[in-house]
Amino acid sequence: MSEQLLKLENIYKDFGNVKVLKDINITINKGEVVALIGDNGAGKSTLIKVITGVHRPNSGRIFFKENEVQIKSVSQSRKMGIEAVYQERALCDQQELYRNIFAGREITNSFGFLKIREQRKEAERILRDYIGFTSKAITVDSQVMGLSGGEKQGVAFGRSLYFNSDLIVLDEPTMGLSIQETEKVLNFVKGLKNENKSAIFIDHNIIHVYGAADRFIILDRGEVVGEFLKDQISREELVQKMIQLHESGKIKVDI
């Protein structure tokens, strides 16, 4: 069995009276791509926000690289090596590209003033090496507003690669993208495995998920209701399971 990277034990999360996560137990191994699937309101987004430090669980334990951790903030989860790619939603439209790349972890001197030149230089490198932007129309000084969906996604990915994280969390990475752009994103996810990095991703499109993931975790109303390795289940069977879940509210796990 491969090495564990992240382990969640008995995670509960409420928002007032709404129990969003109920007794979640999952493990992510090194070099593994795990897809979280489930209907709207299944708790997928909340779960990844617990992992990235946006939300704190009401109870439960989290282990990262075999140490128990309390993830209190986004910046803390980033320091540990967890990087979230929230698609274009985590970019600010009216700000320049280089400022977006370093937002929340600016390169500064000891007085907190930004090292603009360094940020721009590094941003240029990210654009060229990690994202492969060659268009002259887009520079590090461009406002994010003018970018296409795929370009924004590219910036978000470039950012996560640059900061060299162990676990990359992708929230609906293919939403709103063209077929070509989707292909790029999926290749990116597959490429992570070669670098022994792990990824968790959420996607509504089972076809996308199936191609890119090693393992599938199915959530329903805040609970894990099924878990399959790719070689245990075909794409058609997975689709069937989801339809079955949708219709009956239950899932048959016959492994």
- The conformation of residue 130, written as its DSSP 8-state character, comes to I
Q: 252 burial class (0-12, 13-18, 19+ CB within 10 angstroms)?
A: exposed
CA end-to-end distance (rounded Å), the chain = 19
Q: Which of 116, 207, 229, 243 is close enough to bind other proteins by CB under 8 A?
A: 116
Nearer to other proteins, 100 or 198 (CB): 100
Instruction: List the interface residues with other proteins, window 58-77 (CB under 8 A).
Output: 73-75
Cβ pair 98, 109 in contact under 8 A = no
For tokens 């339809």, what's the residue? 243
Contact between 195 and other proteins by CB under 8 A: the answer reads no
Q: Which of 72, 89, 125, 235 is close enough to bind other proteins by CB under 8 A?
A: 89
- The conformation of residue 2, written as its DSSP 8-state character, comes to P
**Beta carbon of residue 63, minimum distance to other proteins (angstroms, whole number):** 22
Cα 97 to Cα 67, 165, 172: the distances in Å are: 35, 21, 22
Instruction: List the interface residues with other proteins, window 25-54 (CB under 8 A).
Output: 52, 54
Distance CA 110, CA 162 (A): 23
Which positions ≥6 away from 3 have C-beta within 8 Å? 29, 30
Q: Which of 40, 66, 67, 113 is close enough to bind other proteins by CB under 8 A?
A: 113
Contact between 92 and other proteins by CB under 8 A: the answer reads yes
For the window 135-154, what string marks contact with other proteins as x by the rule CB under 8 A? ------x---x---------
Contact between 108 and other proteins by CB under 8 A: the answer reads yes
**Beta carbon of residue 131, minimum distance to other proteins (angstroms, whole number):** 18
Which positions ≥6 away from 236 have C-beta within 8 Å? none
Contact between 78 and other proteins by CB under 8 A: the answer reads yes
Strands 215-220 and 223-229: antiparallel
**Beta carbon of residue 98, minimum distance to other proteins (angstroms, whole number):** 11
Q: Which of 67, 94, 110, 134 is close enough to bind other proteins by CB under 8 A?
A: 94
Strands 167-171 and 67-69: unpaired
Considering only 11-19, 104-112, 205-213, 234-242, which stretch makes contact with other proteins by CB under 8 A? 104-112
Could you list the residues that contact other proteins (CB under 8 A)?
52, 54, 73-75, 78, 84, 86, 89-95, 99-100, 103-106, 108, 111-114, 116, 141, 145
